[in-house]
Structure 1
Amino acid sequence: MTLSPELLSRPLLDHTGLDLEAADRVTYVLEQSLHYGYDQPIELLDHRLVVVPLARHGNQHRRAHRVDVAGASVRRRSRLDGHGNTVVRVRADRVEEGVSFTVVALLERVRADGPTHLSAAALHDPRLLRPTRLTTPDDRLRDLAAGVGGGTPLERAERICALVHDAIHYEYGVTSVETTAAEALSGGRGVCQDSAHVMITLCRLVGVPARYVSGHLLGEGGTHGWMEVVVADGDAAVAVPFDPCNGRRAGADYITVATGRDYSDVAPTSGSYSGTPNSTLTTSRRVGVLSAA
């Protein structure tokens, strides 16, 4: 697959009328742009982007991609972090008015290639079992975890997903990227990131390895966050995705970009610069299905 203008200009299919779970192959396109505008020139821009989908995540394959930067003369470097995510670092000595970052990617889901297999070491990975700043439990979270009950790790995860879905009501604007799981649960309101952090915290409290997932959900206007639990699969392990914000497992209408301990590992855009504090972020996104068979 190539990122030809002809391919990218093709209309998206109505995914709500497709049985994506039953399709042998599904091709997706992702076009995401972020533009930072400044009221005065800035200097020493150092920006971190985690917007390129994983090369492979279970049955999801990245077939082609590119990252474009406009508005300034920049130096950039791509690397894989400790979780296997593509991190693009962009630096510029000076930006006059604004800078834009655009990622374009073609992805393919091959049903026969799933699920997401991991080594058995993932079952004991401290990164997936220890609390982080955003997933440090308080007494209320510990009490909730104590009432989860027994069963297999997957059965406990199913119950936790339903519990979190009932406990956190979706409301935009009442939390931030700095809100902890304890704070979100106390308030009872938040966005997908908050639900994911609460579920991750509870899973880790009951001994189930868990990690944060960033990406896209078809039909939504912005980026999305969910989580995965890691359970044994023979002599290895498998990652099973849950979306507690929507109270269900994640399926073929989800596109994974990156995984980490919590949101801070996989924030799509972050960075620093020297200059005016007045900046604006404008985003746009086009994501959907090009073909399914």
Structure 2
Amino acid sequence: MKLTVEHVTTYVYDQPVRGVVQSHRLLPTQCQNQSVERWNVTVSDGMMGGSFRDGAGDQVQAWTVTGPVERIEVRVTGVVTTTDCAGVLRGNRELIPPVAWLGETGPTMPDSGLKALAAGASGETALPLAHDLSARVSEAIAYTPGATDAHTTAAEALEQGQGVCQDHAHALIACARLRALPARYVSGYLFTDSDGTGHEAAHAWAEIWIEGLGWVGFDPANACCPDERYIRLGCGADAAAAAPIRGIARGPGSERMEIAVAIASAQQ
């Protein structure tokens, strides 16, 4: 499937700041699941800095905006051709061993509820176990836009029984790690057409390491594995580590962020 992307993130400061430094994970993963035909990232009044490919295979790009700064617009446009690989991430070059993704983080710290959810899953081998874990998270946390915020933990989302894709991914990661399955958070995009779903185009899911198969994606928010509708950007231990844009503003005052993402099929 050929997908077009337009992703605009706007930062507005209530008073001018002296400068802003950002780190981007906004380049689609180089793998067999997808190929980039065209991709462009611009930052208003920004100066591009150095870049590197981290141990997970993600391209990280630095940007600097010299102040005084009142408003910054990060614009991403591109075209990506995707392939359905049954959820398996194929051809991604990475150096980090899977065992490194077993560690707990704040958002994925398990409580008694997550431990019980993980313990109830069954499967004779790792793959069916991972599928059952994902299904249980889907059933336990109803997709409810606005029910949680960026700081909600997996335990909190499970306790209230509702959340968004970030919460589904965190909960599945926590449960997988409890069952000794390496797991990580993935950020990207999801194309939704006329199927009636209300999920936002900026999306998140989890990947679980299956010995002999590799990293397999699971999207509890949609009760499926990633297919040709998904564009993968990057991964991390949790949402903060995998964030497409991370940054620091130098100066007092507060920051307001607005995000607009449009994903379309080029065939339509």
Residues 39, 206 of structure 1: alpha-carbon distance in 2 compared, 3 angstrom cutoff: closer
Gaps of 5+ in 1: 1-25
Offset, 1:118: 6.8
Residues 114, 168 of structure 1: alpha-carbon distance in 2 compared, 3 angstrom cutoff: closer
* 1:226 aligns with one of 205, 212, 215: 205
Could you say which structure has the higher helix fraction? 1
Offset, 1:190: 0.9
* 1:68 aligns with one of 36, 42, 54: 42
Offset, 1:163: 0.7
From the CA coordinates, give the structure whose radius of gyration is larger. Answer: 1
Deviates more, 1:182-191 or 1:266-275: 266-275
Offset, 1:117: 3.4
Which amino acid letter does the alignment assign opposite residue 242 of structure 1?
F
RMSD, aligned CA: 2.6
2:243 corresponds to which residue?
Answer: 267
Identity level (%): 31
* 2:18 aligns with one of 38, 43, 60: 43
* 1:240 aligns with one of 216, 220, 224: 216
> Could you say what secondary structure the match of 2:240 adopts?
helix
* Residues 18 and 66, structure 2, Cα contact 8 Å, conserved in 1: yes
Residues 180, 127 of structure 1: alpha-carbon distance in 2 compared, 3 angstrom cutoff: farther
Offset, 1:150: 3.6
Looking at structure 2, the residues matched to 114 and 137 of structure 1 have their Cα atoms a distance apart, in angstroms, of: 25
2:263 corresponds to which residue?
Answer: 287
* Residues 77 and 88, structure 1, Cα contact 8 Å, conserved in 2: yes
**CA deviation string 1:56-80 (max 9, x = no partner):** 2x3212233221111x253433322
Which amino acid letter does the alignment assign opposite residue 260 of structure 2?
S
> Could you say what secondary structure the match of 1:204 adopts?
helix
Which amino acid letter does the alignment assign opposite residue 285 of structure 1?
V
Residues 66, 147 of structure 1: alpha-carbon distance in 2 compared, 3 angstrom cutoff: same
Offset, 1:215: 0.8
1:277 aligns with 2:224: no
Offset, 1:196: 0.8
2:196 corresponds to which residue?
Answer: none
1:59 corresponds to which residue?
Answer: 33
Matches within 5 A, 1:73-112: 73-110=46-83
Looking at structure 1, the residues matched to 4 and 227 of structure 2 have their Cα atoms a distance apart, in angstroms, of: 17
* 2:130 aligns with one of 157, 166, 186: 157
TM-score, structure 1 normalization = 0.80
> Could you say what secondary structure the match of 1:116 adopts?
coil
Deviates more, 1:240-249 or 1:269-278: 269-278
Offset, 1:184: 1.5
* Residues 213 and 256, structure 1, Cα contact 8 Å, conserved in 2: yes
Superposition misfits of 4+ residues, deviation over 3 angstroms: 110-115, 121-124
Gaps of 5+ in 2: 193-198
